[in-house]
Amino acid sequence: MQIDPSFDTSSFMAVAAASPSSLIYTRSSSTSGGRIPGSARRTTAVVMAAGNGGGRRMPHVLTVAGSDSSAGAGIQADIKACRALGAYCSSVITAVTAQNTVGVQGVHPVPEAFVAEQLRSVLSDMAVDVVKTGMLPSVGVIKVLCRSLQEFPVKALVVDPVMVSTSGDMLAGPSTLSGYRDELFAMADIVTPNLKEASALLGGISLRTVSDMCSAAKSIHNLGPRNVLVKGGHLPDSSEATDVFFDGENYHALRGSRLNSRNTHGTGCTLASCIAAELAKGSPMLQAVRRAKTFVESALDHSKDLLIGNGPQGPLDHLFDLSSTHARTAGARSFDANDLFLYAVTDSGMNSKWGRSILDAVEASIEGGATIVQLREKEAATRDFIEAANACLGICRSHGVPLLINDRVDVALACDADGVHVGQSDMPARVARSILGPQKIIGVSCKTAAQAEEAWADGADYIGCGGVFPTTTKANNLTVGLDGFKAVCLASKLPVVAIGGISSANAGSVMEISVPSLKGVAVVSALFDRECIVTEARRLKSILMDSSSPHPKLMV
Ligand SMILES: Cc1ncc(COP(=O)(O)OP(=O)(O)O)c(N)n1
Ligand SMILES: Cc1nc(C(=O)O)sc1CCOP(=O)(O)O
Ligand SMILES: [Mg+2]
């Protein structure tokens, strides 16, 4: 194994010189061969500028990290994770590693001057929103990065202080600790050490409890970053994976269940990349962290049966969403399970009671933060239903909010809605799928694990599970309770939205069950049987955001 503990470029050169066959092919700054000459560089820039005239921008993350030949971690994980969350990911490679599911067999740091050149190429051209760092093998590379960020500022910097791989191999020497502490942390919006890294950054202190993690988060915060996430995945004697987030004022204990899986290689890189992708999309920091954590939990869950490699640590399948039934037959889909977060289900009776049209009600729910809308108009004549749906589609499309139709596949087809929601006595989901085709969203009401399994096999996109609590909105509805609901969530291969008797008084308790498949709550009366829909939607949304983990504010 060719690993120099300090990983500075001079020692790398010595290793390379002693073993020419292991040289990496790079253009040193002293040779012009292969470099883009000034005039050609200008031509390239002009062509690119011309090509940028119109079109769609994607949130853009640049990862500055090492390459992992097994593709479970490093830049390969970062690119996949960012794409899974809808961001474009460019990459500056700081080192090339030879590794697999057994461990790390070799490391080739990229010369600092060439790291600088890659940084200039990307940052000068590509409108990067967020930079995320992984393996930074020398203090020199850290300094190069700091200089580049001063020259080309970005919206946010996410620092994952990678020092030790999941297999226990060293990926950065002790000298890089001072680089992090003295140079990079002051520029960071968030730093995401695991327990070993947090301990190393703080001189080897022992971290055994959540309270220790809070103290560590505070000490690391004192080194300059605006936020710190200490990941407790390896906390001893704990059945939960609790992370501590500290923003300089409040501590948030973000709890998740610890999943028993061999395939955990690259979870740290993935989490930091997901935070970066969410920040690039415009999420506030705590929300970005929560969404990233939820994604990692889902990826871990979906990857637990994967068999890749013969070693003890396999990779995650970041693009697990692509392998759901509908995607297998239809390629990329427009459904994003995170849209289920605050699901507004209309009721014409309630809206006419309060003297407002369906359109006004839908518009107000979206203004308050609803992320998906279902038109559930049980009494409407078909013609009126189609007319209302067409009007609502205009509003929903202009806000990027999907609109589904309750029960009526014909109405959904007539107005080209985004999909339907069907129950156990409505048209079977597999028939709806064959009529609507692969691109439309289909939700199915389920009260049992068997129904959830059938919905998945039928090609549904999500399930609605309830009644979580008693409700008067739907006559004779069976209440499954929080325990019954959790059991269905645990069994479901599809994302789940909770429904039935949910309001701002109990939405927190639903989200706190913290099962990866649970994506949000669906409400009728809590929005539409209220005087001000906007106010109620805002209230619910903020409760949901605060309670995506069971104990959001742990004050110590
Ligand atoms: C999100 C969501 N979940 C469940 C239902 C209930 O559907 P269903 O069982 O078909 O009952 P009706 O809504 O048709 O009365 C739903 N509509 N939405
Ligand atoms: C439409 C519907 N479906 C349910 C189910 O359990 O499947 S409960 C329900 C009504 C939900 O209304 P509210 O938010 O006012 O309780
Ligand atoms: Mg129905």
| Cβ 287 vs Cβ 43: under 8 Å | no
Structure tokens at 93: 């490679």
Domain assignment present for 217: no
pLDDT at 514: 86
Q: CA–CA separation, 337 vs 324, rounded Å? A: 12
| Cβ 122 vs Cβ 116: under 8 Å | no
- Ligand 1 pocket residue status of 421, Cβ below 6 Å: yes
Return the DSSP state at 154.
-
Does the active-site annotation cover 440?
A: no
Same domain, yes or no, for 508 and 402?
yes
Residue closest to 391 by CA, chosen among 328, 355, 346, 455: 346
Same domain, yes or no, for 432 and 514?
yes
Ligand 1 nearest-atom number relative to CA 499: 3
Q: CA–CA separation, 365 vs 481, rounded Å? A: 26
- Ligand 1 pocket residue status of 376, Cβ below 6 Å: yes
Q: Which of 53, 79, 94 is the last residue of a domain?
A: 53
Q: Identify the CATH number of the domain in which residue 138 sits.
A: 3.40.1190.20
Instruction: Report CA(376)–ligand 1 centroid distance (Å).
Output: 8
- Ligand 1 pocket residue status of 443, Cβ below 6 Å: yes
Per-residue pLDDT of the chain (556 residues; tens, 9 = 90+): 333 334 333 333 333 333 333 333 222 333 233 333 333 333 333 333 344 445 678 899 999 999 999 999 999 999 999 999 989 999 999 999 999 999 889 999 999 999 999 999 999 999 999 999 999 999 999 999 999 999 999 999 999 999 876 666 667 777 889 999 999 999 999 999 999 999 999 988 999 899 999 999 999 999 999 999 999 876 666 666 789 999 999 999 888 767 788 988 999 999 999 999 999 988 889 989 988 988 898 888 888 888 999 989 899 888 887 654 334 343 334 688 989 999 999 998 999 899 999 999 999 999 999 999 999 999 889 999 999 999 999 999 888 899 999 999 999 999 999 999 999 999 999 999 989 888 899 999 999 999 999 999 888 999 999 999 999 999 999 999 999 999 999 999 999 999 999 999 999 999 999 898 999 999 999 999 999 999 999 999 999 988 874 333 232 2
Does this complex have an ipTM over 0.85? yes
Domain assignment present for 230: no
Same domain, yes or no, for 398 and 474?
yes
Same domain, yes or no, for 343 and 438?
yes
Same domain, yes or no, for 460 and 488?
yes
Q: CA–CA separation, 362 vs 48, rounded Å? A: 42
Instruction: Report CA(383)–ligand 3 centroid distance (Å).
Output: 19
Instruction: Report CA(478)–ligand 1 centroid distance (Å).
Output: 12
pLDDT at 361: 96
Instruction: Report CA(460)–ligand 1 centroid distance (Å).
Output: 14
Single-letter amino acid code for the residue at 436 = L
Which of 94, 97, 166, 264 is catalytic? The answer is 264
Same domain, yes or no, for 437 and 361?
yes
What angle is formed at CA 340 by the lines to CA 336 and CA 345, rounded to 5 degrees?
Answer: 130
Domain assignment present for 17: yes
Domain assignment present for 388: yes
Does the active-site annotation cover 392?
A: no
Q: Which of 271, 294, 327 is the last residue of a domain?
A: 327
Domain assignment present for 288: yes
Query: 């209440």: which residue's tokens?
Result: 479
Q: Is 387 exposed, middle or buried (0-12, 13-18, 19+ CB in 10 A)?
A: middle
Same domain, yes or no, for 360 and 313?
no
Domain assignment present for 239: no
Which of 132, 231, 293, 474 is catalytic? The answer is 231
Same domain, yes or no, for 440 and 462?
yes
Does the active-site annotation cover 269?
A: yes
Q: Which of 291, 308, 327 is the last residue of a domain?
A: 327
Query: 């079109």: which residue's tokens?
Result: 55
Same domain, yes or no, for 49 and 99?
no
Same domain, yes or no, for 41 and 127?
no
Does the active-site annotation cover 231?
A: yes
- Ligand 1 pocket residue status of 366, Cβ below 6 Å: no
Same domain, yes or no, for 49 and 61?
no
Q: Identify the CATH number of the domain in which residue 418 sits.
A: 3.20.20.70
- Ligand 1 pocket residue status of 407, Cβ below 6 Å: yes
- Ligand 1 pocket residue status of 464, Cβ below 6 Å: yes
For residue 11, give its domain range.
1-53
pLDDT at 52: 45
Domain assignment present for 424: yes
Instruction: Report CA(536)–ligand 2 centroid distance (Å).
Output: 17
Closest residue to atom 1 of ligand 1, CA basis: 464
- Ligand 1 pocket residue status of 303, Cβ below 6 Å: no
Please spell the DSSP secondary structure of 48-100, one letter per residue: HHHHTSSS----EEEEEEEEETTSSSHHHHHHHHHHHTT-EEEEEEEEEEEE-
Instruction: Report CA(384)–ligand 1 centroid distance (Å).
Output: 20
Same domain, yes or no, for 183 and 313?
yes
Which of 66, 268, 369, 467 is catalytic? The answer is 268
Structure tokens at 261: 């899986």
Ligand 1 nearest-atom number relative to CA 343: 1
Number of neighbours of residue 80 by Cβ within 10 angstroms = 23
Domain assignment present for 342: yes
Domain count for the chain: 3
